Chain A
Amino acid sequence: MDRNSVGIVTPQKFTFGSVEDPMVLESGRSLGPVEIVYETYGQPDADRANAILICHALSGNHHAAGYHDPHDPQTGWWDTMIGPGKAFDTRRYWVICANIIGGCKGSTGPASIDAATGKPYGLNFPIVTVGDMVEAQKRLVDHLGIARLYSIAGGSMGGFQVLEWALRYPQMVRSAICIASAARLSAQAIAFNSVGRSAITRDPDWKQGAYDGKGPEHGLATARMVGHITYLSEMLLDSKFGRRLQSASRLSYNFTTEFAIESYLNHKGSAFTHRFDANSYLYITKAMDYFDISRSYGPLKEAFAQVTARCLFVSYSSDWLFPTSQTKEMVRALLGNGKPVSFIEIDSPYGHDAFLVEVEKLSRIITGFLSGVPQEVAP
């Protein structure tokens, strides 16, 4: 175990609401009781003023750093960023990451038991939005006794939550870090989500979401394969796989998995089915599709007028799922309001996935930004 690791962590649970007193969702439907599973790293200071909330993306979860047991081969998904001496330095900050509602890693989602029926929700689970996810996180933050977050950070859909926080609870967000994200999901990204959902719902094992056990593994794997392509850049696929054949040196003239890229995607797809729930995939991608700041808060410039957090936006040069232009649109709206905002585009070949894999440059940027937060800021 590396000495910059947060070490062994134990997920914790927080429950709010009940069948009688549920959480009312943006759709008007209600959900209760709501369970949130989360992890914390580092220690709160006396005023609990050093808390940083990390928001995970589509396939992420609350396990952002460290290990669950000493033999765990896998660290948390942002372990390179969170720990002693790392960008989110756990010697200084109290870092929190919670599984989103609608997820499948312990927070209430479609696979959870519906208290009203005693059976898994399945498709009876109400549609949740990014706003609802943030609302649930707000309850957790209140529960943890945090009046104001020192910072909040997330990439991709995590960035959606960051923006939602900055708009919904401006007084609770001192600084915000929005990485490889956008003010709304683009038509192209909705299109890819739609293909992923079709793959799941057309799998006979899906059974209208009422599967038991195995579930629509083929559909989910296909959805993940499509998704995975959108997270990488053409340049990366070309340099990592090219037209290389996986094992044979000659063409097989049949439909077996033949190219290295096919083999890679197959592997990613099937590995995903072991760790993710197909219904959750439907719900979360839907929440992403619905995300549109302008729809909820008006034109971007007007919407961002209420932001008070010092903001940092980071994009990646080869990210075509959440391109730099979409980040700059938000930066422009904030600058137009005279808000304190910084923007850096990281030159990277890794596409959208860069925020998870290319951490060196991001670490320097975030370390600098976080240490500059208490300073007097510009107009």
Chain B
Amino acid sequence: MNERYVDRLSRTDRDVILTLVPEGVTVLDLGCGDCSLLAELAAKRKIRGTGVDIRGEQLVDGLAHGFNVYQGDLDEGLMDFPDNSYDYVILNQTLQVVKKPLRVLTEMLRIGRFGIVGFPNFAQWRLRSGLFFGGRAPKSPALPFEWYDTPNIRVLSIRDFFDYCRRQSLRVTQERYLVAGRWVTRAPIIVTNLLAHIGLFVITRK
């Protein structure tokens, strides 16, 4: 049940990403898995893309789609990719699973002009109340894992993300929030930080 809900979430965030990526740009997808997002972007937005993932097995499908793939660990950085070599670098549902998120974000905007970052909001009210009332590591439809088997080792909120961008002099050019099953474009942060399951942002250097 939870998994199906998450599947549906991830399908819809792909649709949102499609609307955030302009036609014909170059895209580097970090944590690309089987390159299915790139394939969709190539089909609908005519992008040219490269996929990076730590699991080489998965990258084979990307090769067959004609994408270039690179097996690598985001935590080790992406030194092999030159500065400003892509228009967009996507980090969707991956920020919360890396050991060195700051390094990954820095690398993203070194390599790409724009970054697209999507992550689950750990300050969503169900998680807050789960912790407050339940007294246990909280779960939600977007985060259905137990504390011991969660891949999500970085716990951040939408507010945390904005704080980070401000400190790093990054500009958030687009924002999308999944609130009660619908994607909304803009709302006061006090609302989004409480209600959004997922935040999706386009960021760039100032």
Chain A interface residues toward B at CB < 8 A? 310, 312, 328, 331-332, 335-336, 338, 340-347, 361, 364-365, 367-369, 371-379
Other A-B pairs beyond A336-B82, A368-B64, A376-B66, 17, CB < 8 Å: A328-B80, A332-B79, A338-B85, A340-B68, A342-B68, A344-B56, A344-B59, A344-B71, A361-B56, A365-B56, A365-B63, A369-B63, A378-B48, A378-B50, A379-B26, A379-B85, A379-B86
A372 → chain B closest CB, angstroms: 4
- CB-CB under 8 A from B62, the residues of chain A are 368
Measured in the bound complex, the distance between the Cα atoms of B68 and A140 in whole Å is 31
State which of A338, A364, A367, A377 has its C-beta within 8 Å of the C-beta of B66. Answer: A377
Measured in the bound complex, the distance between the Cα atoms of B81 and A310 in whole Å is 17
User: What residue in chain A is nearest B26 (Cβ atoms)?
Assistant: A379
Q: 1/0 per position for B65-76, CB-CB distance to A under 8 A?
A: 111111110000
Tell me if B175 counts as interface (CB < 8 A to partner A).
no
B side interface size, CB within 8 A: 27
Tell me if B105 counts as interface (CB < 8 A to partner A).
no
The B25-68 residues at the A interface (CB cut-off 8 A) are: 26, 42, 48-50, 56-57, 59-68
Measured in the bound complex, the distance between the Cα atoms of B80 and A335 in whole Å is 7
Chain B interface residues toward A at CB < 8 A? 26, 42, 48-50, 56-57, 59-72, 79-82, 85-86
- CB-CB under 8 A from A361, the residues of chain B are 56-57
Contact in complex: B70, A365 (CB < 8 Å): no
Contact in complex: B64, A343 (CB < 8 Å): no
User: What residue in chain A is nearest B46 (Cβ atoms)?
Assistant: A376
Sample (7) of A-B pairs whose CB atoms are under 8 Å apart? A310-B68, A338-B85, A343-B70, A343-B72, A344-B56, A372-B64, A376-B42
- CB-CB under 8 A from A332, the residues of chain B are 79-80
State which of A328, A365, A377 has its C-beta within 8 Å of the C-beta of B48. Answer: A377
B57 → chain A closest CB, angstroms: 7
Point out which of B57, B66, B67, B68 has the most chain A C-beta atoms below 10 A from its C-beta: B68
- CB-CB under 8 A from B65, the residues of chain A are 372, 375
User: Known: A331-B80, A338-B85, A343-B71. Contact between A368 and B61, CB under 8 A?
Assistant: yes
Measured in the bound complex, the distance between the Cα atoms of B139 and A149 in whole Å is 55
Measured in the bound complex, the distance between the Cα atoms of B56 and A347 in whole Å is 9
Contact in complex: A335, B85 (CB < 8 Å): yes
A362 → chain B closest CB, angstroms: 10
Contact in complex: A378, B60 (CB < 8 Å): no
- CB-CB under 8 A from B86, the residues of chain A are 379
Contact in complex: A378, B68 (CB < 8 Å): yes
Contact in complex: A367, B64 (CB < 8 Å): yes
Measured in the bound complex, the distance between the Cα atoms of B86 and A361 in whole Å is 30
B70 → chain A closest CB, angstroms: 5
State which of B48, B56, B66, B79 has its C-beta within 8 Å of the C-beta of A372. Answer: B66
Measured in the bound complex, the distance between the Cα atoms of B57 and A347 in whole Å is 10
B179 → chain A closest CB, angstroms: 35
Measured in the bound complex, the distance between the Cα atoms of B49 and A342 in whole Å is 12
Contact in complex: A365, B68 (CB < 8 Å): no
